[in-house]
Amino acid sequence: MIRTRFAPSPTGFLHIGGARTALYSWAYARRHGGKFILRIEDTDRERSTDASVTAIIDGMKWLGLDWDEGPFYQMDRLPRYREVADRLIAEGKAYACYCSKEELDRMREEQRAHGAKPRYDGRWRPERAASLGLVPPAGIEPVIRFRNPDDGDVIFDDMVKGPISISNAELDDFVLLRGDGVPTYNFGVVVDDLDMGITHIIRGDDHVNNTPRQINVMHALNAELPKFAHAPMILGADGERLSKRHGAVSVMQYEEDGFLPRAMVNYLARLGWSHGDDENFSPEQFVQWFDLKHVSRSPAQFNPEKLRWLNHQHVREQSDEELADAIVPRMKFLGADLSSGPPLRGVVALFKDRAETLVSLSNDCLMFYSEPRPTQELFDQHVPAPIKPVLAGLANDFEAIPDWTPVSIGAQIRAVLDARQLKMPKLAIPVRVCVLGRTNTPDLASVLSLLGRRVVVERLRQNLPTS
User: Which C-beta is closer to ligand GLU: that of 18 or that of 374?
Assistant: 18
Question: How far, in Å, CA of 81 to CA of 83, rounded?
Answer: 5
Contact range with ligand GLU by CB under 6 A, out of 3-11, 235-243, 364-372, 399-407: 3-11
Contact range with ligand GLU by CB under 6 A, out of 6-14, 268-276, 408-416, 449-457: 6-14
DSSP lists the bridge partners of residue 155 as: 165
User: Which C-beta is closer to ligand GLU: that of 229 or that of 409?
Assistant: 229
Q: Is 356 exposed, middle or buried (0-12, 13-18, 19+ CB in 10 A)?
A: middle
Contact map string, positions 43 to 82, toward ligand GLU, x by CB under 6 A:
----------------------------------------
Q: Give the nearest distance from C-beta 44 to ligand GLU in angstroms.
A: 9
Contact range with ligand GLU by CB under 6 A, out of 2-10, 255-263, 351-359, 451-459: 2-10
Diameter of the chain by CA atoms? 110
Contact range with ligand GLU by CB under 6 A, out of 4-12, 84-92, 358-366, 427-435: 4-12
- Confirm if 349 and 320 have CB atoms less than 8 A apart: yes
How do 200-204 and 162-167 pair as beta strands? unpaired
Asked if 230 interacts with ligand GLU (CB under 6 A), we say no
Question: How far, in Å, CA of 282 to CA of 318, rounded?
Answer: 11
Element (H, E) at 57: helix 50-63
- Confirm if 72 and 40 have CB atoms less than 8 A apart: yes
Q: Give the nearest distance from C-beta 210 to ligand GLU in angstroms.
A: 7
Stated length of the chain: 467
User: Which C-beta is closer to ligand GLU: that of 41 or that of 173?
Assistant: 41
Question: How far, in Å, CA of 22 to CA of 8, rounded?
Answer: 9
Asked if 258 interacts with ligand GLU (CB under 6 A), we say no
User: Which C-beta is closer to ligand GLU: that of 8 or that of 465?
Assistant: 8
Q: Residue from 2, 9, 223, 422 that binds ligand GLU (CB under 6 A)? A: 9
Question: How far, in Å, CA of 23 to CA of 40, rounded?
Answer: 16
Asked if 207 interacts with ligand GLU (CB under 6 A), we say yes
Q: Give the nearest distance from C-beta 158 to ligand GLU in angstroms.
A: 14
DSSP lists the bridge partners of residue 193 as: none
User: Which C-beta is closer to ligand GLU: that of 40 or that of 347?
Assistant: 40
**What does the DSSP assignment read for 313-356?**
HHHHHS-HHHHHHHHHHHHHHTT--GGGSS-HHHHHHHHGGG-S
Q: Give the nearest distance from C-beta 70 to ligand GLU in angstroms.
A: 13
Task: Check 35, 117, 161, 244 and give the catalytic one.
Answer: 244
Print burial letters for 275-285: b (CB count within 10 Å at least 16), e (below 16): beeeeebebee
Print burial letters for 67-77: b (CB count within 10 Å at least 16), e (below 16): beeebbebeeb
Asked if 7 interacts with ligand GLU (CB under 6 A), we say yes
Q: Give the nearest distance from C-beta 53 to ligand GLU in angstroms.
A: 12
Amino acid (1-letter code) at residue 276: G
User: Which C-beta is closer to ligand GLU: that of 7 or that of 65?
Assistant: 7
Contact range with ligand GLU by CB under 6 A, out of 5-13, 105-113, 221-229, 294-302: 5-13
Q: Give the nearest distance from C-beta 230 to ligand GLU in angstroms.
A: 10
CA torsion through residues 205, 54, 23, 226, sign: positive
Q: Residue from 4, 8, 56, 186 that binds ligand GLU (CB under 6 A)? A: 8
Question: How far, in Å, CA of 218 to CA of 224, rounded?
Answer: 7
Prior bond of 342 cis (ω within 30°) = no
User: Which C-beta is closer to ligand GLU: that of 154 or that of 391?
Assistant: 154
Asked if 432 interacts with ligand GLU (CB under 6 A), we say no
Is residue 244 annotated as a catalytic residue, yes or no? yes
Q: Residue from 16, 23, 41, 125 that binds ligand GLU (CB under 6 A)? A: 41
Q: Give the nearest distance from C-beta 33 to ligand GLU in angstroms.
A: 22
Catalytic residues: 244
Residue ranges binding ligand GLU (CB under 6 A): 7-9, 41, 189, 203, 207
